[in-house]
Structure 1
Amino acid sequence: MTEVVLLSVVVVAACALLTAGLIVLLKPTLNRHFLAIPNERSSHGQPVPQGAGIAMMAAMLAVYVALWLLDHLQVDPPWPLPVLGAAVWLTMLGALDDAADLPILWRLAGQAAAAIVIVFNLPEGFQILPEVLPVTVERSLLVIGIIAFINAVNFLDGIDWITVAQTVPMAAAVIVMAFMGAVPDNVGLIALLLLGATLGFAVFNKHPARIFLGDAGSLPVGLLLAWMLIFVARADVEAALILPLYTLADTGVTLIRRARQGEPLWVAHRSHFYQRAVMLGFKAPDVTLRVFLLGCLLAALSIAAVEVESFAIDLALLAFGAGATAFLLRHLERGRA
């Protein structure tokens, strides 16, 4: 067990250091070709390079290959290559979108392709709700859910550290679940790689940010988190609902409000709770700290849901998490007095 923990620490540290180093090397190129110019919908006031997701993905792949060469990979399913390949595809798609805005249908088609690859490569016989849904229906819903979650993460990547505040608790929770044996070891490995890459990026995204993820980062991050949540759901459906509650709630409530007001859902805006909080007096670090603390609470609740194996307790934990999320959303919406 000590050897496994030590290897996990090394993987996270290596991925973090490599991500940071690649960001330093790529920054001149990103400054030339991937500059985010402020507009009326931006939360930053000066041009900032984006595309740090390229460095994150490259670092994750490099550490994964190193583990393969050193014979430290698990052979049990799920095999990580399909999800890593799909993440690379979304990194390239996102980079193109960062450099020159792509039509929305192109972006959705690319995301759908990545989601189909992931679902098609789930282990044989894998089902989350075998007694409730036929396998074809469940897998169709998984494709839709993956696309939705990719966009939810993308929508919420709008201020410094906000994606870090969501990703770190979720990835850490999945790592703990892997140590508990609730999710496969290879799912835990992807969580370790993502955690390390996110921490390496976080150094440069601290307010005021020197670099942004861009779609080249938020799209693959959303994909990887969605893939991990599928396996958490296999272990405990309620835990998989608890863990991303903030991401789902902020995006879901905002989209419902905009739809009711007749606003086009595909147009960029500043209507999310975290964005409104900044406009109403909160500083970006105030918001991200609150989102991170909620994320830590949700991570603890989801781990507890996996551990207790009681449907009644799971529902209570889900209700508590939903209440805490609603409280934070209301707090952000009120702004700073």
Structure 2
Amino acid sequence: MSSTLASLLTVITAAAVSALLCVLLRPLLLRYALARPNARSSHRVPTPQGGGIAVLAGAFAALAAVATLLPPAGGLGGLGFVAAAAAALAVVGAWDDIRPLSPGLRLGLQALCVAIVIVYAAPDLRLFPGVMPLAVERCLALLAGIWFVNLTNFMDGLDWLTVAGFVPFTVALAMAGLAGLGDPATGLLAAALCGGLIGFAPFNRPVARLFLGDVGSLPIGLIGAYLLYRLAGTGALTAALILPLYHVADSTLTLLRRLARRERVWEAHRSHFYQQATTNGRTVMGIAIEIGLLNLALTGLAGLTIWMPAAPVQIGALGLAMLLTGLLMRRFARRRPS
């Protein structure tokens, strides 16, 4: 089986399993896992959460099925640790959905899962071998991983936002794997996550009939962080910075602003730029489409940095990505003209 066929089969299988599980699980989630609207919510009617179970199950079922049809591929061994850590984080998220955990315990469990991925799924990966010791680099990777897990959760506050954020960059990473950038297993993992989200997308389309919940957003953030870490490890650090730039910029700037105002940053709020956009008169569908289009542009710029590794191209592409992201956030922060 060719690599292209394997990736396509992974996407299709993951999407089919994810969609089927969304149908089967929704009645149960309606009964036991309703997200009820409050003053900080973006939805207005009680909506079941837990669709992340379907996304993860679809992704890992497809990955396991396709892997059995392929000859041994580089990186497959590490995916077992990624799957185990993602499953553990899903349990943490499910528990938090039903009975909220204390911020300290939640953060500690997240750190443990991220550490497992760094140490066991990517033991030989170095980004700055001649610049800093391994221990320092891993501490920075741990902090970055924890933040990416949490920002994925923070940014899952509107219908289709996680789909608009993750589908473009998982497609890009799956294609990078086909092009020989990185190991084949990482490319298949990206294809599997992409398929799982595609299967979930019709149920999360505004107005959503199903939410991911923390059971989905936390492990999806972990898998996304791992994929970007792997991409950076191939030498494509600029591309790894560009691909998730909107999610990273919106969540990070919002956190810094809340810290400056001395707010309790672990409590729910409506300060994100995408949340300001709804307050300023934009539709949920319109916001998701604009973010999705930006992410397609970021994917193109990331691809350019891989194709043309010269320093001026890297700097220029990163600068343009930051400019486009900043312009969209500024647009969201302004009231829409009547």
Using the size of structure 2 for normalisation, the TM-score is: 0.96
CA contact (8 A) 1:182 1:306 kept: no
Correspondence for 1:207:
206
Instruction: Show the counterpart of 2:150.
Output: 151
Q: SS at 2:73's partner residue?
A: coil
The residue that corresponds to 1:289 in the other structure is 289
Does residue 328 of structure 1 match 2:323?
Answer: no
Q: Alpha-carbon deviations, 1:239-291, whole Å to 9, x = none? A: 11111110110001111111111111111101000011001100001100010
Distance 1:173 1:21 in 2: 25
Q: Work out whether residues 78 and 123 of structure 1, in 8 Å CA contact, stay in contact via their aligned partners in 2.
A: no
Question: Is 1:278–1:335's contact at 8 Å kept on the other side of the alignment?
Answer: no
In 2, Cα distance between equivalents of 1:33 and 1:336: 38
Aligned residue number for residue 24 of structure 1? 23
- The offset of 1:123, in angstroms, is 4.1
Distance across 1 between alignment mates of 2:224 and 2:320: 22
Question: Is contact 2:75–2:186 with CA below 8 Å preserved after alignment?
Answer: no
Matched residue SS, 2:264: coil
1:270-320: CA deviation from partner (whole Å, max 9, x where unpaired): 100001100110000110001000101111111111121112210110000
Between the aligned partners of 1:233 and 1:68, the Cα distance in structure 2 is 24
Rate the CA distance shift 1:64–1:176 in 2: closer, same or farther, 3 A.
closer
Structure 2 residue aligned with 1:223: 222
Deviation at 1:72?
A: 5.1
Q: Which residue type is aligned with residue 199 of structure 2?
A: G
Extract unaligned runs of 5+ from structure 1.
Answer: none
Listed one character per residue, the Cα deviations across residues 164-203 of structure 1 (whole Å, up to 9, x for unaligned) are 0000111011112112222211110110000000000101
Deviation at 1:14, TM superposition (A): 0.8
> Does the 8 Å CA contact 1:245/1:322 hold for their aligned counterparts?
yes
The one-character-per-residue Cα deviations of 1:9-64 (angstroms, maximum 9, x if unpaired) are 11101100110100111111111111000000100000000010111111122222
> Following the alignment from structure 1 to structure 2, what is the Cα–Cα distance between the partners of residues 236 and 66?
29
In structure 2, the partner of 1:38 is 37
Aligned to 1:11: 10
Q: Say which is worse superposed, 203-212 or 78-87, in terms of deviation.
A: 78-87
How far apart are 1:331 and its partner, in Å? 0.5
Aligned counterparts of 1:312 and 1:325: Cα–Cα separation in 2: 20
Determine the structure 2 residue equivalent to 1:186: 185
Correspondence for 2:90:
91
Paired residue for 2:311? 311
TM-superposition CA deviations, 1:207-266 (whole Å, max 9, x none):
000000000110011000100111111222111111111011000111111111111111
In 2: Cα distance, 1:154 partner to 1:73 partner: 34
- Which whole-Å CA distance do the structure 2 matches of 1:253 and 1:76 have between them? 35
**How far apart are 1:334 and its partner, in Å?**
0.5
Range with greater deviation from structure 2 (222-231 or 4-13): 4-13
1:123 and 1:211, CA in 2 relative to 1: closer, same or farther beyond 3 A?
closer
What one-letter code is carried by the residue in structure 1 that aligns with 2:101? Answer: L
TM superposition shift of 1:8: 1.4
CA contact (8 A) 1:15 1:63 kept: yes
Give, in whole Å, the separation in 1 of the partners of 2:75 and 2:189.
Answer: 14
1:166: which partner in 2?
165
Q: What TM-score results when the alignment is normalised by the length of structure 1?
A: 0.96
Instruction: Tell me the distance in 2 between the aligned counterparts of 1:194 and 1:321.
Output: 24
Moved more, 12-21 or 233-242: 233-242
Is the Cα–Cα contact under 8 Å of residues 160 and 204 in structure 2 kept in the other structure?
A: yes
For structure 2, the residue ranges without an aligned partner over 5 or more in a row are: none
Corresponding residue of 1:254: 254
Call closer, same or farther: CA 1:40–1:73 in 2, change over 3 Å. Answer: farther
Counterpart of 2:290, as a letter, is R
Q: Which amino acid aligns with 2:82?
A: V
SS in 1 for 2:336: coil
Separation of aligned partners in 1, 2:245 and 2:325: 7
Q: d(CA) in 2 for partners of 1:125 and 1:16?
A: 32
Name whichever of 120-129 and 55-64 sits farther off: 120-129
**Aligned-pair Cα RMSD in Å:** 1.4
Report how far residue 69 of structure 1 moved: 3.4
CA–CA separation in structure 2 for the residues paired with 1:302 and 1:16: 25
Distance in 1 of aligned mates of 2:124 and 2:15: 35
How far 1:104 sits from its partner (Å)? 1.3
When residues 123 and 264 of structure 1 are mapped into structure 2, their CA distance, relative to the original with a 3 A threshold, is closer
Which residue number corresponds to residue 280 of structure 1? 280
1:73 CA displacement: 5.2
8 Å CA contact 1:233–1:240 kept in 2: the answer is yes
Partner of residue 301, structure 1 = 301
Amino acid at match of 2:256: I
Change (3 A) 1:211 1:72: farther
Q: CA deviation at 1:101?
A: 1.4
Residues 67 and 73 in structure 1, CA contact (< 8 A), matched pair in contact too: no
